[in-house]
Chain A
Amino acid sequence: MTDMTAPGKIAAAPAPPRAHPLRDTLIKRLGFGVITLFCVSILVFAATQLLPGNAASAALQNTATPARLHALEVQMGLNRPAVSQYWSWLTGLFQGRLGTSIVSSTPVSTLVGGRIVNTAVLVLLAGFIGTVIGVALGMLAAARRDSVLDHVLSVTALAVTALPEFVVAMALVIFFAAVIWHLFPAVSVFPPGAAPWSDPTLLVLPVATLVIVIVPYTFRMMRAAMIDALESDYVEMATLKGLSRRRVLIFHALPNAIAPTIQVVGLNFLYLAGGVVVVEYVFNYPGLGQGLVNAVADRDIPVIQFVVLLLAAFYVLVNIATDMVSLAASPRRRLPRS
């Protein structure tokens, strides 16, 4: 519009400094991420440490007398001002001092360290397998839209999306571990210090549960994105050129569905951050989620604080990464809106 009214004016104007929309967005998003996490840390700390029923009374439980409670509060530094308590907790986190478990009196770092690896293995495996299966099924359903296969897949996805993790887990245990076939162990206990991949059969059911829960999301998003792409002009053009269906699907339609795919991968990992809690508990899998459930049951406040903060940090980071990668993958959205 503007160049039609005054073309000479635009040519004469000094060239604007080259904008880096991607870099600027990244900096902005990271900034907001840090602020969000800071607020989250305040919230977590205030909720667990400052409200009545603090760590000292949690540690003493039934043996709490006012005198003992006071002595322990002094020892744990709970009688100091809230801000000073918060500050030493936060600076401690950055220096690797995560505090000491109230229940087992071991440092939180040793308690949580191995669990982080175990959970990471579970999340990465499930995220990868689930995404591949979901994307493949979504493409298949979109390519054969309104076929019997498409309807069966769509209705199944609709039903499975709604299932709680423990329902899927119990169904798998009934079918593959306890009642019908005895193929895999019903619990995934392995000795402390052992790597989760040392016995792959222990991983099968937990990973399968998470995969079954994330595939329907992936499938539904992918199917919708592919149908959009397949209805576009360039796909019609490619088809009219006489290219094979497979070639059109993979080289013409799929690249244009890449942004939604990235979003799906991001959302899957976001979901998994919470989904591992129940699944690890069901299978007795020694990961962060099981650690969190045990800590909440025992009111082991230092462990709760760290694990919740860790999961929130993961959540925020995945969110930023998803936004940035999908922004980078869809050049049109990078430009400022005209």
Chain B
Amino acid sequence: MASTAALEVLTTAGRRRARRREWLAVLGRAVRTTRGAVGLSIVGVVVLIAAIGPALAPRPADAFVTRPFDNPSLAFPLGGDVLGRDVLSRTLAGGWELLLMAAVATLLGVAAGAALGVMAAYFGGFWDSLIMRVVDIVLAFPQLVFALLLVSILGPKIWLIVLAVAISHAPQVARVTRAAALDISERDYVRAAQIIGMPARKVMRREVLPNLTSVLMVELGLRLTYSILVIAGLSFLGFGLQPPAPSWGYMINENRIGLVANPWGVLAPTLLIAALTIGTNTLTDAIARASLGVGRGADDALLPGITAAGAVT
């Protein structure tokens, strides 16, 4: 009896610390490669602009201060927008909400997907079939279309968009996690934990999940890129933050009629969104290479939506 208790202490206390180190180690390996360093720097710059931008903005984002589509000048370095507001101020103020929404949606989606995937793999049988069939139903929608469907019910609410994006991520994460967890659920240490009477929830959390760190980190990066794409896309379509609040996606849309007069209203937010997604994707690629082996996984994992191969066994 005493020995099993000692065993449990050993496996849990030690492993929690090890898990934290594992996350950092994977990230550290990724960042030491050229790709990882470049990706992280780009993301860092954009996040910095979005985070401290609102404090730096020289004018209120919704004040009419100049002529519509005014040329850049000393007072207005990026000129005026469609209604004569300061493009620089709106650009500085219009990013943090996109980043926050994308981050929350990604965390929710990956957490839910990982939980479903591990449960499907660990319990198998009926639960596995049930979870994976539900996954198939959500996977039958293109991500943006699914978000549009939810938005059509209650209108463009911020929490609804975050929820919609999270729900549309979960099935894809669940598939990947399940595939990885299937193998781990058969390992001896999982059996050992079951034998000493550890409850299923604890076995999954302490024995199975820590071994999925690399897989989940790649998923996290990948889904973050997709979150940004979908949320910025919705915002561009007018289903994000509602005007007059500034947001990068909608700025591009509302200023495109003045592209010839003052291209900065479109260029500034476009460049920032492009830099952000390129940065997260490059960093993810570096993580995949560092943790899953060079080239392997990264190329397959970057595919959109469904990997059709997963359905054939």
Contacts and interface: CB of A to CB of B under 8 A. Distances in A.
Interface of A: 25, 29, 32, 35-37, 39-40, 43-44, 47-48, 51, 53, 158-159, 161-167, 170-171, 173-174, 178-179, 186, 217, 220-221, 223-224, 263, 266-267, 270-271, 273-275, 277-278, 281, 292-293, 295-297, 299, 301, 304, 308, 311-312, 315-316, 319, 322-323, 326-327, 333, 337
Interface string B283-310: 0010000000001000110111111110
A316 B302 contact: no
Interface stretch (B9-17, B89-97, B172-180, B234-242): B234-242
A162 B142 contact: no
Given A158-B35, A166-B233, A277-B145, 11 more contacts: A36-B133, A159-B282, A166-B236, A217-B302, A221-B300, A221-B303, A271-B305, A292-B148, A296-B152, A308-B148, A323-B311
Nearest to A322: B308
26 contacts: A32-B136, A40-B137, A159-B281, A162-B229, A164-B233, A174-B263, A179-B263, A217-B303, A217-B304, A221-B303, A224-B299, A267-B303, A270-B142, A271-B142, A274-B142, A277-B148, A296-B148, A297-B239, A299-B152, A304-B148, A308-B148, A311-B141, A316-B140, A319-B308, A326-B309, A333-B312
A293 B266 CA distance: 21
A158 B308 CA distance: 22
Contacts of A327: 312
A164 B278 contact: no
A301 B152 contact: yes
A292 B238 CA distance: 13
Contacts of B239: 296-297
B304 A167 contact: no
B144 A162 contact: no
B71 interface: no
Contacts, number: 171
A117 to B, nearest CB: 19
Contacts of A316: 140
Nearest to B296: A224
A25 to B, nearest CB: 7
Given A53-B154, A311-B142, A164 B256 contact: no
B142 A315 contact: yes
B308 A165 contact: no
B312 A271 contact: no
A164 B149 contact: no
B298 to A, nearest CB: 8
B57 interface: no
A304 B152 contact: yes
B299 A36 contact: no
Nearest to A308: B149
A163 B137 contact: no
B123 to A, nearest CB: 21
